[in-house]
Amino acid sequence: MRLSDAIEQFIKTMLTQTEQEVELKRNELAEYFNCAPSQINYVLATRFTPDHGYIIESRRGGGGYIRIFRMEQDTSEQLLYLLHERVGDSISALEASHLIMQLHERELVTPGEAAIMQAAVSPSALSLPISTAMKDALRAKILKSMLLEVARKVKQ
C-alpha cells in the first residue's frame, strides 16, 4: 500500500462520526510513518482539501499543530457547489450579492454575517483603480475565503 494512502486512512480513522476534528503534530506523524515531514503536507494537499470536504488550520513554532475539520456532508456539498460552480475564479458584484442572500435563506449564515459578507464584496469596498475583470477575480477570492470560514463553522 502507498504511504500516502496509509496516512490518509490513519487520519480518516481518527475522524469518526463523533470526532469531526483532529489535531496532529506534523513531525510526530512523519516519524510514526517514518517519512519526510513534507509527506504529510502532500497527503493533506491531495486528500484533505475543501473539495474533499475538509478544512485545515495550522500553526508554526513551539507548540505548533495541524487541525483538520471534516465538514458535514450536505453542508459540504452545498458549499462546494457554491465555491466551484458559482464563484469560481471570478464573480460579479450582483452575482456575489445573490449568492450571499441565498446563503442567508438557507440559514447557512446569520443575518449579521450576511450583511458583513455583503459589505466585504460591495463595489465600494473594492473601489480601486483596476479593471472590472480584476475586481471580479478579487471578489471571488474574498468570497471563497469567507465561504471556507462559513464551512468551518457549520461543522462545529
Partner DNA sequence: AATACAATGGTCAAAGATGGTCAATGTATC
Partner DNA sequence: GATACATTGACCATCTTTGACCATTGTATT
Grid cell in block for residue 5: 494512502
Return the residue of 10, 21, 142, 155 that touches a copy of itself, per CB under 8 A.
142
Contact with a copy of itself (CB under 8 A) among 21, 33, 120, 155: 120
Under the binding rule (CB under 8 A), the answer on residue 99 touching a copy of itself is no
Told to check if 113 binds a copy of itself by CB under 8 A, we report yes
C-beta of 62: minimal distance to DNA in Å?
A: 3
Q: Is 138 in the site for a copy of itself (CB under 8 A)?
A: yes
Sign of CA dihedral 5, 11, 14, 20: negative
- What DSSP line would sit under the chain, residue for residue? --HHHHHHHHHHHHS-SS--EEEE-HHHHHHHTTS-HHHHHHHHHHHSSGGGTEEEEEE-STT-EEEEEEPPHHHHHHHHHIIIIIITT---HHHHHHHHHHHHHTTSS-HHHHHHHHHHTSTTTT--SS-HHHHHHHHHHHHHHHHHHHHHHHH-
Residue 95 CB, nearest distance to DNA (Å)?
Answer: 13
Beta carbon nearer to a copy of itself, 16 or 145 = 145
* 40 interacts with DNA by CB under 7 A: yes
Residue 26 interacting with DNA (CB under 7 A): yes
Using CB under 8 A as the binding rule, whether residue 45 contacts a copy of itself is answered as no
Stretch that binds DNA, among 11-19, 53-61, 73-81, 148-156 (CB under 7 A): 53-61
